[in-house]
Structure 1
Amino acid sequence: MMLIEQTTLPAAALPLDRFKAHLRLGTGFSDGGAEDALLEAFLRAAIATIEERTSKVLSARSFTWGVHGWRDGERETLPVAPVSRITELRVHDRRGTVCVCDPGTYRLERDGTYPRIVAGRTHLPTIPQGGGAEVDFEAGFGEDWDSVPPDLGQAVFLLAAHYHENRHEAASGAGHMPFGVAALIGRWRRLRMTAGGAS
């Protein structure tokens, strides 16, 4: 299974000014504009980390999800949430011949944690042996930062600030998630279930 991000978050959608204000409150950061590129990099890294830990897409983007087989022929849990729509489903055989599936053969089952692609009839389109399927979909809480739940937004700021404060100590605390960030994202994390479950 592979998830590919087809559209990246544009710089204009990043809450750079709010992050600067967050840093000024905590550290007396002076806004000279010289560190904008660095602060943007910290924000992007923090957003990517929060999204990876929670399986939530904070700002609206397009994705392609590839699988080699369905675990359940009637429905399949998509890897991230919230999903706003499925734009296309394709299946291909081992030779790479692609067939675009009739939209009537599947639909989106909306869910804040476990959105699913569901069979529109009896079963999801058959994936040929040795082939695979690709699902194009759009996910995210919304187009702008105000759409992001406040606790997830605060987690991004705290983690980005952590990266900023430790920028000269790259090896220190590698992979460490600050307690305040972990506490904020805890309720958003997916439960890991047994094989065939919703995780």
Structure 2
Amino acid sequence: MMLIEKTAVPDGSLPVDEFKAHLRLGSGFGQDSVQDAVLTSFLRAAVTAIEARTSKVLFERTFELSVRVWRDLGSHGLPVAPLNALTDLEIVERDGTRTSIDSATYWLERDGHVPRLRSTGVALSTVPEAGEAVVTFDAGFGVDWMDVPADLRQAVLLLAAHYYEFRNETSLSDGCMPFGVTSLIERYKVMRLYGGGAR
């Protein structure tokens, strides 16, 4: 299984001014725009880290999921949420030939943690040997910063500030995340049972 992000979060959607205000509260951060590119990179890194920890997409964008075998004949759990729309399902043969599947044969079961692609019949379209199924979908809380839940917005600002404050530190352990951030994102994390079986 491979998830590809087809569209990116525009720089303009990231809350640079709000992040500056957040930094000024604790450190007297200046008003100028000299560091905007640096702040944008820390915000983008924080968004990416929180999305990875929670499997939640903060800003809406398009993804493509490649699957070599369905987890279940009649359904397949999708790796991120919230899903807004399934836009395409294709079967790709070993030689690269792609066939778009009729949207009447499948539907999206919405779920806050593990949305599912479901067949309207007995089974999803057969994935050929050495081929794959490609699911294209739109996911995310919204296109604007204010569409993101307030606790996740706060987590992004806290984590970006942590990255900024410790930008020259090389001795922090891998995956280091402040307690305040982990507390804010805890309820968004997916519970995984028996090696990912919850999906």
TM-score, length-normalised on structure 1?
0.96
> Would you say 1:140 and 2:140 are equivalent positions?
yes
Please state how far the C-alpha of 1:150 moved relative to its aligned partner: 0.8
Match of residue 5 from structure 2: 5
- The separation in 1 between residues aligned to 2:45 and 2:118, in whole angstroms, is 33
In structure 1, runs of 5+ residues without a counterpart are: none
Secondary structure at the counterpart of residue 104 of structure 2: helix
Please state how far the C-alpha of 1:197 moved relative to its aligned partner: 2.5
CA root-mean-square deviation: 1.2
TM-score, length-normalised on structure 2?
0.96
- The separation in 2 between residues aligned to 1:45 and 1:162, in whole angstroms, is 11
Contact in 2 for aligned 1:71/1:196 (Cα 8 Å): no
Match of residue 126 from structure 2: 126
Please state how far the C-alpha of 1:7 moved relative to its aligned partner: 0.3
Match of residue 33 from structure 2: 33
Match of residue 170 from structure 2: 170
Q: Deviations over 1:113-133 (max 9, x none)?
A: 111100022211111112110
Please state how far the C-alpha of 1:172 moved relative to its aligned partner: 3.0
Question: Equivalences for 1:1-199 in 2 at 5 Å?
Answer: 1-194=1-194, 197-199=197-199
- The separation in 1 between residues aligned to 2:36 and 2:66, in whole angstroms, is 35
Secondary structure at the counterpart of residue 167 of structure 2: coil
Could you tell me which amino acid in structure 2 is paired with residue 190 of structure 1? Answer: V
- The separation in 1 between residues aligned to 2:153 and 2:52, in whole angstroms, is 14
Could you tell me which amino acid in structure 2 is paired with residue 186 of structure 1? Answer: E
Secondary structure at the counterpart of residue 133 of structure 2: strand
Q: Number of residues paired by the alignment?
A: 199
In structure 2, runs of 5+ residues without a counterpart are: none
